[in-house]
Amino acid sequence: MNSSRAWLVWGAAVFAYVVAVLQRSSLGVSGVEARHLFDVSASTLSTLAVVQLVVYAGLQIPVGVMLDRVGPKALIVTGGVLLALGQFVVAFSPPVIGVAIVGRVFVGAGDAMTFISVIRLLPSWFRGPILPQVSQWTGNVGQLGQILSAVPLSLILHGSGWSPAFVSAASLSVVAVVVVVLVVSESPEGRTASAGTATWRAAGRQLVESARRPGTRLGFWSHFVTQSSGTVFSLLWGVPFLVGGLGFSSAGASGMLAVLVASGVVAGPILGLLVARFPLRRSNLVLGIVSGMGLTWAVVLAWPGTPPVWLAVVLVVVIGVGGPGSIIGFDFARTFNPLRSLGVANGIVNVGGFLASFVMMFLIGVVLDQLDAARIASGRPSDIFSFESFRVAFLVQYLVVGAGVVGLIVERRRTRYGLHREEGIEVAPIWVALARRWRSTRGGSD
């Protein structure tokens, strides 16, 4: 455990995840070009990303069940093959959006198999306080895939065209598959028989048992509220918002996506340390991150006129913290589930953020289309990506994330009640704990 070989296996698995994130986010930097190539409305364009995320979210639980049966390596390899196939389909798609949608279905399916499989590997190779930190590093390093899509993929797209860009992306998945086959092993002893399910009926029982645990549901809602805003921004609507709404160049918008990733990379290790140091305050970290994102979005959307560049930078930095913040959801799953059903528990958690994301992504597209139709009906020219339209459309986030915060608070109460009943651990409200700490500090200094 925690050996040099463990880090080698982790590195190979994380490389596969980096490539998966590249494929997932490749549409985000090509959204404007895709709209012109396929000549579609904003809501139709959103179906490219929404279908991908629906497939991703819909497969999380089945993949989690398979993960506990066949192991993570097989699923990482299968995912890489599907990602490559999907991107090749997109690369050679005629100007018919239906073909591109088929390609994104394959991308969503391959992506669905990757992250939770990598996360499932970690308890077999790492032990102790470093485990939550490695989980954070996994999520953070994986987001380098967004930088690969925001910079080199974007350069190829604008320099050589649609097909060369997506062929290049697909080729990286082929390389990742080879690396995983050669390097990754599921445990220091090699392939081990799963301690989990012998039959699909038993797998179903584990799914039900995991879903009944308030800690699993707390992880679901934590992922739901933290990941969605950044995912919607980076996967589809960020570049149109920055270019059409705020007047950025394509290169400048791609650079802002890189800032978003850099923010997560910096915040991730800090969050990992805080989670390891204060395991009973993880939900407070989640709520703090969500509050920061909500406040920053409010300032941007309420800004009179076009928001300045510095405020746009603040926005992407703040929502970038949501990525590593969502990893806390998997830490809840690990804490409140036995290893034999950790795969399915991670699957349940991972549904959260992507469920919120595709709902928000689609509704934003619908609102943009409706506002543009009203603009045209009033005699003004079409301007579907104007800041005034985004100002209204992005309010969708408050409805979706607000519902998630309610779910999080309810499940946190149930989880804390279970801790008190079963283990005698009572978690006081954060303000009570801070008041006690303050009184203790004053008492020690008197």
> What whole-number distance in Å separates Cα of residue 150 and Cα of residue 147?
5
Q: Which two tokens stand for residue 83?
A: 């990602």
How much is the average pLDDT of 16-31? 85
Whole-number percent of the chain with pLDDT over 90: 41
> 4-184+205-426 sits in which CATH class?
mainly alpha
Q: What is the pLDDT of residue 197?
A: 47
* Of 91, 115, 104, 86, residue with least CA distance to 16: 115
> What whole-number distance in Å separates Cα of residue 73 and Cα of residue 52?
23
Q: Euclidean distance between the first and final Cα of the chain, in Å? A: 46
**Tens digits of residue pLDDT in 174-207:** 999 999 999 998 877 765 544 444 566 776 777 7
Q: What is the pLDDT of residue 107?
A: 94
Residue 435 has pLDDT above 70, yes or no: no
How much is the average pLDDT of 204-220? 86
Q: What is the pLDDT of residue 410?
A: 94
How far lies 14's CA from each of 10, 85, 227, 352, in Å? Answer: 6, 20, 19, 22
> What whole-number distance in Å separates Cα of residue 281 and Cα of residue 288?
11
Residue 277 has pLDDT above 90, yes or no: no
CB burial of residue 380 (10 Å; 0-12, 13-18, 19+): exposed
Whole-number percent of the chain with pLDDT over 70: 91
Least confident of 117-121, 265-269, 355-359, 416-420: 416-420
Q: Which two tokens stand for residue 101?
A: 């949608």
pTM value? 0.75
**Tens digits of residue pLDDT in 282-334:** 889 999 999 999 999 999 999 999 999 999 999 999 999 998 899 899 888 88
310-315-318-320 Cα dihedral, nearest 10 degrees: -110
Residues 6+ apart with CB under 8 A from 170: 23, 83, 84, 85, 86, 87, 88, 91
Helix count (H) and strand count (E) of the chain? 20, 0
Residue 59 has pLDDT above 60, yes or no: yes
Name the 3-class secondary structure at 186.
Answer: coil
> What whole-number distance in Å separates Cα of residue 320 and Cα of residue 265?
9
- Average pLDDT in the chain: 85
> What whole-number distance in Å separates Cα of residue 110 and Cα of residue 229?
22
Q: What is the pLDDT of residue 442?
A: 60
**Residue length of the chain:** 446
Opening angle at CA 105, ends 100 and 108, nearest 5 = 125
Residue 407: count other Cβ atoms within 10 Å of its Cβ: 17
**Tens digits of residue pLDDT in 82-140:** 999 999 999 998 888 888 889 989 999 999 999 889 988 888 888 877 887 788 788 77
* Of 361, 399, 273, 256, residue with least CA distance to 324: 273
**Tens digits of residue pLDDT in 369-418:** 999 999 999 999 888 889 999 999 999 999 999 999 999 999 998 988 87
**Tens digits of residue pLDDT in 226-262:** 999 998 998 888 988 999 999 998 888 888 988 998 8
